[in-house]
Amino acid sequence: MSTRVAGKTIVITGASSGIGAATAVALARQGARLVIGARRMDKLEEVAARCRAAGGEVVALACDVACRESVEALVGRAAETFGRVDVVLANAGYGLVAKIHETTDEQFDAIVATNVKGTFYAMQAAAAVMLRQTPVGQGRDRRGHVIAVSSGAGRRGLPLYGVYSMTKAAQLSLVEAMRVEMKEKGIYVSSVHPLTTATEFFDVASEKSRVKTSGAGKVQTAAQVAAKIVKLIERPKPELWPAPFSRLALSLAVFFPRLADKGVAKTMGSRKR
């Protein structure tokens, strides 16, 4: 059990499946006190049961991150139940597979509401609570730690994932700005950038899209990403890139955009299905 995680109060949005669920269970094993939220309460209660079986304290609450009041209620419940909020993990989000010119207004507005506004609301709710808290310990996150689960696509727009990539880039921009704004306040802010993760992401994206793909890069399990998020909570840093060398590869795209265009076209084309 990690002494850096045990006893921390951690809020997770989008915790009913995928990375959110795996992270909740991993943190429960480390003795964290959890408040988890999602729209699908049946799935969320299953995750809560797994967390309790792993030895963690957990509160499960219905939460639609597209609604500010719902997010504020989730974070507020954590503060009310456990006395403080140490970490808020803004994880809720989904994918959209569609060419830019074929994306409808309804699709655009819906994904922005969840991926961008949902993260924005979680960050604001976290700050409202954490700024009132008494600093503890000696780390950079003495009042709290805010984490947004972005994507490798936040660094480079991908064909068929243009609008999705935009939402992930928006999350990264919010994190980068807030990290500087909160530096002297004792609130640390980080982003997480998975690539292809073995979750229901592509199934959900397919339900909302006209094109099906299976992502890009080496596939990681949700548990692998979750284990690295636990380490990020133990030792905060600006960005977490779970897939080895992915940050370097995407950084090179900035200097060689034409070569990057050819590379992503080939990779994403081979992943169509």
Contact between 84 and 32 under an 8 Å Cβ cutoff? The reply is: no
Tell me what pLDDT residue 158 has. 87
Residues with catalytic function = 164
Contact between 129 and 9 under an 8 Å Cβ cutoff? The reply is: no
* Cα within 13 Å of Cα(236), Cβ side: 24
Q: Output b/e per residue, 17-36; b: 16+ Cβ within 10 A.
A: bbbbbbbbbbbbbbbbbbbb
Q: Which residues contact 173 (CB under 8 A, 6 or more apart)?
A: none
C-alpha to C-alpha distance for 10 and 132, rounded to whole angstroms:
17
Q: What is the pTM of this model?
A: 0.87
Tell me what pLDDT residue 192 has. 97
Residue 187, classed as helix, strand or coil, is: strand
Tell me what pLDDT residue 199 has. 54
Q: Which residue from 116, 126, 2, 10 is spatially nearest to 65, judged by alpha carbons?
A: 116
* Cα within 13 Å of Cα(127), Cβ side: 17
Q: Please list the ranges in the chain whose pLDDT falls under 70.
A: 197-218, 244-257, 259-261, 263-264, 266-273
C-alpha to C-alpha distance for 227 and 220, rounded to whole angstroms:
11
Tell me what pLDDT residue 120 has. 98
- Tokens found for residue 244: 């080895």
Q: Give 89: exposed, middle or buried? Use CB within 10 Å, 0-12, 13-18, 19+.
A: buried
